Amino acid sequence: MHTITQTVKSTSICFLVSLIVILTSWLIPAYAAEAEVFTAADALSYMRASQARMSPDGAWIAYTVSVPRKTDEKPGGAYGELYLVSVKTGDIRPFITGEVNVSGVQFSSDGSMLAFLMQRGKDAKRQVWIIPAHGGEAVQVTHSKTAVSTFRWHPDGKSIAYVATIPKTKHEKELDEKGYGFIFFEENLKHRNLYHIGVDLDGGTHEAEQLTEGVTVWNFEFSPDGTMLAAAVSPENLIDHRYMFQKIYLLDLESKELTQLTDNPGKLGSFAFSPDSERLVYCAASERKDHAVSQVYVIDAGGGTPRNLTEPDFAGHVSWARWKDKKTILYFAGEGAWNTLSTVSAKGGERKVILHSKKTGVIFYTPSYTDDFKHFAFIGTAPDVPGDVYYWKRGAKKMTRLTTLNPWIADRRLGKQEIIRYPARDKLEIEGILVYPVDYRDGERYPLIVCVHGGPESHYTNRWLTGYFNSAQVLAGRGYAVFYPNYRASTGYGVEFALEGYEDAAGKEFDDVADGIEYLIERGIADPERVGLGGGSYGGFAAAWFASYYTKLVRAVCMFVGISDLISKRSTTDIPYEELYVHSGTKLEKTWKKSLERSPIYWAHQSETAVLILGGTADTRVHPSQSLEFYRRLKMNDHPAVRYVKYPGEGHGNRKQPGRIDVLYRQLQWYDWYVYDKQLLEGPMPPLDISGYYGLELDEQEEQE
């Protein structure tokens, strides 16, 4: 069992060193010095804080750290380690470290205990564990037959409620074993139920009490008086129901009666009881076609009409809300390239911005704070900070950085990052982030890579923009300018801006991206003969669109889990109602022609762009057939430079390190080949086997064997 006294393993340091040594076999081109710029090896090795929770007394912050696996380790996602840091001294205590995956950290109400989710053992399911906040042995609390997805402490600290899916019956297991475990698509679904269980630090077992039946629970919160639960409920356990059909219900813990409270017409976000348990604050879409959570509402726990507290024409999106006190709401919003934290009266009125990331220089996320509203814990990021723990005392002008998980980044030369604005063809101002190449010289043109976000209900903030895909600082170190546009339909600019994409896929939204490319060419930054573009999901849709419709603008694209056919996409995605209600707006039968003409396959025959297609074989969001269709249409039109790489078992994005490593190096290879070096489309494509780039190249004897 891991304890507080366990020595922190040197996993992360060893991983960093080994990757740097291994990856020297692939030299960065002569236009950048490998030892000084941020490399692909660096992008695969940095750690980041992923969750921060403030102790009730404001003295400690519990946080988790995401640690990438080594190249030669068993395939899997990053490890998740648990630490505590002192707000006063900055001292760090390792709690659960090594080959573990800790998430969902929560203090008990008195601060004496920490609870968290962890899967321990080869065939174990993710369960709730607890450990004393002063250190000691971790104890497993739940013994669910299926994985626990989320949990909350009861206010009295003596019990925990959690959500888990109903397990298979004995009969169903027997059918599986005999080969009769057939899949009845979207039928015979197992609900996600709420359960309640006592907490025993001595490891004693308690029997969990089932609280719900016949509905699926996605999230929940206790009332401060401990008598009720507010739960986000949908009729079925389908991802589409999670997106579009969640309503808030109240569950009386004594009678087990479940009563619907809200009738929000679209997407539902966070929610919380007031300190006196009499009201709830919640975040939700403004209407059904609003493609993202955008507003903050208050409703009486006894029912009634909710009050929208969001200012009219608010040029941002509210995504999280809690209570400052029983009269005041605290909410978090994305506003353009920045994030804000504001307070507003529960009766409505003008908000007060209490923290703005533009002033702090840190893109912070939703906070954890003490009941007296004095001490705040955040995960924060910046153009040169992947993710660290920050502390803020209310009223202070600056946030205090308590961790520096990647001190070596200070020794790297990074490309300058700035917010830019440019006019679209209809004169509307569009915002984006531009990362300059390292050693940028004014007046000199550079190859440009455009990175298009997915969703489109998402947006870029002025944060760390380097990951395994669309890796800003790796590209900047290789001599590229890198552009991240917040095109129309992005969040963070208000509902009206977001709705510009409604019933208009690949319309104004991708025209905005094209206008951004033209703008950077006009400014003399981008070389018009050396432009590449990459994106995942909806960004992958953009990549396919630019490889076909806008093919004259880009030499090469990387399409990752992307869309190519709007007609077949509707019938193969796991969120068909979300697509209908907040994107297309009209049933397919009435939009055949437009859907076809807004599909990259319709324009594939005219492509003059090198196309790299990447995606997982188990993607349910954007079915792999979308990649195959685009590949086939290009190949059947004798396209000379198209490649399709499948990642076995991966879904909508790569979770395991082999697929992440390959995506990073393969897209760099593709851009270097066709954009930087301007290899002819009709010439040979880059080598297929790039395993040597990440240290897995066989020697001559091994190859013969």
Distance of CA 140 to the CA centre of its chain: 28
Domain edge (last residue) among 227, 260, 293? 260
pLDDT at 698: 55
Residue 236 placed within a domain: yes
Residue 206 pLDDT level (bands cut at 50, 70, 90) = confident
Helix (DSSP H) and strand (DSSP E) numbers for the chain? 16, 37
Query: Residue 427: which residues within 8 A CB-CB, separation 6 or more?
Result: none
Q: Of 205, 228, 260, which residue constitutes the final position of a domain? A: 260
Q: What is the pLDDT of the chain when averaged over all its residues? A: 93
Mean pLDDT in residue range 95-111: 96
Contacts of 674 (CB under 8 A, 6+ apart): 532, 555, 556, 610, 641, 681
pLDDT tops 80 at residue 14: no
For residue 180, being part of any structural domain is answered with yes
**Which residue in this structure is represented by tokens 């594939």?**
604
User: Is 536 domain-assigned?
Assistant: yes
Q: Is residue 685 part of a domain?
A: yes
Is pLDDT of 423 > 90? yes
With a cut of 60, say whether residue 20 has pLDDT above it.
no
Which pLDDT belongs to residue 495? 97
The β-bridge partners of 232 are 219, 248
Out of 5-14, 245-254, 262-271, 384-393, pick the least confident: 5-14
**Is residue 636 included in any domain, yes or no?**
yes
Q: What is the pLDDT of residue 415?
A: 98
- Tell me: pLDDT of 10 over 50: no
User: In the predicted model, is pLDDT for residue 26 greater than 80?
Assistant: no
Q: Pick from 260, 290, 321: which residue ends a domain? A: 260
Split into its structural domains, the chain has a count of 2
Give the list of residues 6+ apart from residue 703 with CB closer than 8 angstroms, or none: none
Q: How far is CA 137 from the centre of its chain?
A: 32
Per-residue pLDDT band for 25 (boundaries 50, 70, 90) equals: very low
- Reported as a pLDDT band with limits 50, 70 and 90, residue 699 is low
Tell me which residue of 334, 333, 353, 335 sits closest to 343, measured CA to CA.
353
Q: Summarize pLDDT for 638-697 with one digit per residue, the tens.
A: 999 999 999 999 999 999 999 999 999 999 999 999 999 999 999 999 999 998 888 776
- Domain membership of residue 108 (yes or no) is no
Work out whether strand 556-560 and strand 526-536 pair parallel, antiparallel, or are unpaired.
Answer: parallel
CA dihedral 190, 191, 192, 197 (to 10 degrees): -100
Residue 263 pLDDT grade (very low, low, confident, very high; cuts 50, 70, 90)? very high
pLDDT of residue 692: 85
Q: Residue for token digits 């992923």?
A: 50
Asked whether the predicted pLDDT for residue 19 surpasses 60, the reply is: no
Residue 439 maps to which CATH number?
A: 3.40.50.1820
| Owning domain of residue 208 | 142-260
- Burial class of residue 312 in the structure, from the number of CB atoms within 10 Å of its CB (0-12 exposed, 13-18 middle, 19+ buried): exposed
Mean pLDDT of 352-370: 97
Name residue 259's beta-bridge partners: 250
What was the pLDDT predicted at 386?
98
The pLDDT-based confidence of 203 (bands split at 50, 70, 90) is low
Output the pTM of the full model: 0.92
| pLDDT tens figures, 607-622 | 999 999 999 999 999 9
Question: Does residue 388 lie in a domain region?
Answer: no
| Contact in structure between 233 and 215 (CB atoms under 8 Å) | yes
How much of the chain exceeds pLDDT 70, in percent?
93
* Residue 204: pLDDT over 90: no
Asked whether residue 132 is domain-assigned, the answer is no
Check residue 674 and give its pLDDT.
98
Of 32-36, 153-157, 307-311, 651-655, give the lowest mean pLDDT range: 32-36
- Taking 80 as the threshold, does the pLDDT of residue 30 lie above it? no
